[in-house]
Chain A
Amino acid sequence: MEFKLSTNLAPFSRLSDRFVPGGYGEGYPFEKALELVSKIDGIDGVGLGWPCQFQDGGKLKSLLDSLGLKLGTVDTDIYTEARFKNGSFTNPDPAIRRAAIDRTKGAIDAALAAGAPDINLWPGHDGFDYSFQGHYADAWEWMLEGMMEVAEYNPAQPISIEYKCKEPRANQYLANMGKALWLVERINKRHVGITLDTGHALAALENPAECAALCIRAGKLQQIHLNDNYRDWDHDLFPGAANVWELVEFFFWVRKLGYRGWYSLDIFPYREDGHKILQTAVLACRTCWNLAGELLERNVDQLLAAGDHLEAKQILWKLIYNHKDTKTLSHKD
């Protein structure tokens, strides 16, 4: 099975937060950033935002071809402009809801022209900060209506809806895998699926592997974002920085259940060198991916089915210990 790894341009961008609005580093112009990504061994593609990072899909395709990069996804920008601050698809103002729908249709057109496998759709400002602020009934109806409209716009272009529990809102509506599955099941179209961001799952106190299993079994896992955190916030650390076993378990289940799409790095290295952290991320991901493959070869899923998770852990620890054949490894080694 192929491990198709892509990244966004954050590692080569000027990254800011609310305390450092001027940015932690300089960043690079768009084309230079793409060139830098193309030089990372183990990364085959990029995910790019429309229209904030590119406008013309056809031109982008030639540019990426010339760099030997594939387009992993097109991300719909419905979150960097202040007009969306009170929501995109669930904004109480119908004109803003319309703007979000139009923006998404534009991203679909651009993605088709660029040959992207899907668009990513993250309603980040759709939520509430205070009690008695959100109209939960209206908001979910508008979310469903708006998503349904963009789903019907052009079935040739898959749509991948991304959930997250908080930030930039203190509470976001589309907060977890359960809600995301409810939404896409209601939409009920073959080309509309879910983006599982491992960090968003962790921040929502979910287990990414279980989320993947649920989502794949429902036939809805369209896209995977990889990063890590301390389960308190979407820190966007490199994968495996904090939750190593969870990453191995995640790869184990997505490989076992046959996910064939992109794995996209979604990290925010405020203080790290972009090249080096991507190399580190590739190394961490490939190692955990391979460990998961070795567990699959040893039929660990049968041990889990039989309820013997300790045997599975022993195999894992012995693999870590020295990569010897666990059948011949004794405690004296």
Chain B
Amino acid sequence: MIANHPFGACLPTFGSCADRYCLGGYSEGRTMEEMLDRSTQVPGLDGLELVGNWHVNDDNVRTVNKMLSDRGKKISMLVPDLWTQAKWGRGSLAAPDAKTRRAGIDEVKKVMDWAVELGCPFVDVWLGQDGFDYPFQADYTAVYPWIREALVECAAHNKQVRILVEYKPREPRNRCFVDSAAKVLLLLQGLDDIGVLLDVGHSLQGAENVAEAAALLASYGKLDYLHLNDNYGDWDNDLMVGAVHLVHYLELVYWLKRVNYQGWLTLDIFPYREDGIQAAIQCKEWMEGFFAAVNRMGMDAIGQVIREADATKSTALVRQALGLSAVKA
């Protein structure tokens, strides 16, 4: 747990990472069992996020729960793989080809079925390949209805599992269609059964203020799940929490408490050159530090500063919260 929130991690945190240059991976590959074993070395880790076909398939769906429960872990999230195979290269739910769109819907439904069987409440739809690289490549009027209709069809498939849409501005496409908190709210207008997964790094990459994005999503009842990581604001570097945006994380934690967010805090980091176990531990320490700082300052005191809207008081508050103030608050 992190401050009463269930604490999760994407399973590949404990495996190897590759990119377009180092195709063989930055460290040795590991089996699912090895990754699960490694995850047990992170104190307080409650659950793991798994990807359909990578970690769960028709052959192992009856044994996956035991693999996790033997190690004291829950499945926090199941993610349909709509991006790693070449067939999704031009899109999934918004692919120009109708057959690919249909295959995308079938993939989501299949993973929803597995989620029900595994007792996992969420399925994360991340439309990473749905976007464009060049001007004059996409039909902007067609794609949003395709995505919305596909999501509606999937949500109706099984009410026991809640679909969450994860937005991201770019990568692997140069521009992804579902790219911001506001656009995802627009896309899901009137669809109460479908929620949102807020990835902190995607929000930062999209030049949002992540605390504002969280508050906005929460006010529409759509802040369902969080991915934690950090970057330099220009790309989804998937760095450890606390690498760059300390003040933004502090503000995010205040707003998570303010909107009474109760859900998962799940790491989505790419420790290419770090040991994944140590990286996960450091992320958890940072999050606990942010929660402690907000508690130390007090919700009321922070709320008063925000009401006054005085930036000089805000900056003093931040300095005190980070323990950098020479004068006691």
Contact = CB atoms under 8 A, between A and B. Distances in A.
B141 interface: no
Interface string B82-99: 011110011000000000
Interface string B19-41: 11111111100000000000000
A168 B239 contact: no
The listed residue with most A CB atoms (<10 A of its CB), out of B17, B20, B24, is B20
B84 A22 contact: yes
Interface residues of B, number: 37
Interface stretch (B103-111, B127-135, B248-256, B258-266): B127-135
Sorting the interface of chain A by its residue count into under 10, 10 to 19, 20 to 34 or 35 or more gives: 35 or more
A82 B17 CA distance: 11
Given A16-B23, A22-B84, A232 B18 contact: no
B84 A85 contact: no
B86 A20 contact: yes
Interface string A68-88: 000000000001111001100
A51 to B, nearest CB: 15
A17 interface: yes
B149 to A, nearest CB: 24
Contacts of A241: 134-135
Contacts of B24: 80-82
B291 interface: no
Given A86-B273, A232-B234, A241-B134, A18 B20 contact: yes
A125 B237 CA distance: 15
A22 B85 contact: yes
Interface string A103-131: 00000000000000000000010000111
Given A86-B273, A131-B243, A18 B133 contact: no
B220 interface: no
A16 B20 contact: yes
Given A22-B85, A24-B86, A235-B174, A15 B26 contact: no
A21 B22 contact: no
Nearest to A233: B235
Interface string B117-142: 00000000000100001110000000
Nearest to A129: B239
B319 to A, nearest CB: 18
Nearest to A270: B89
B272 interface: yes
Contacts of B231: 170
A321 interface: no
B234 A21 contact: no
A19 B172 contact: yes
Given A17-B19, A20-B84, A170 B133 contact: no
24 contacts: A16-B18, A18-B19, A18-B20, A20-B86, A21-B18, A21-B23, A21-B84, A22-B86, A25-B86, A79-B22, A80-B22, A81-B24, A82-B27, A129-B237, A129-B243, A130-B243, A166-B235, A170-B232, A170-B239, A232-B235, A233-B234, A233-B235, A270-B172, A271-B133
Interface of A: 15-25, 79-82, 85-86, 124, 129-131, 166-168, 170-171, 229-230, 232-233, 235, 237, 241-242, 268, 270-271
Q: 7 smallest A-B Cβ distances: which pairs? A: A18-B19, A19-B172, A17-B20, A24-B89, A170-B237, A19-B83, A271-B89
Interface of B: 17-27, 83-86, 89-90, 128, 133-135, 170-172, 174, 231-232, 234-235, 237, 239-240, 243-244, 270, 272-273
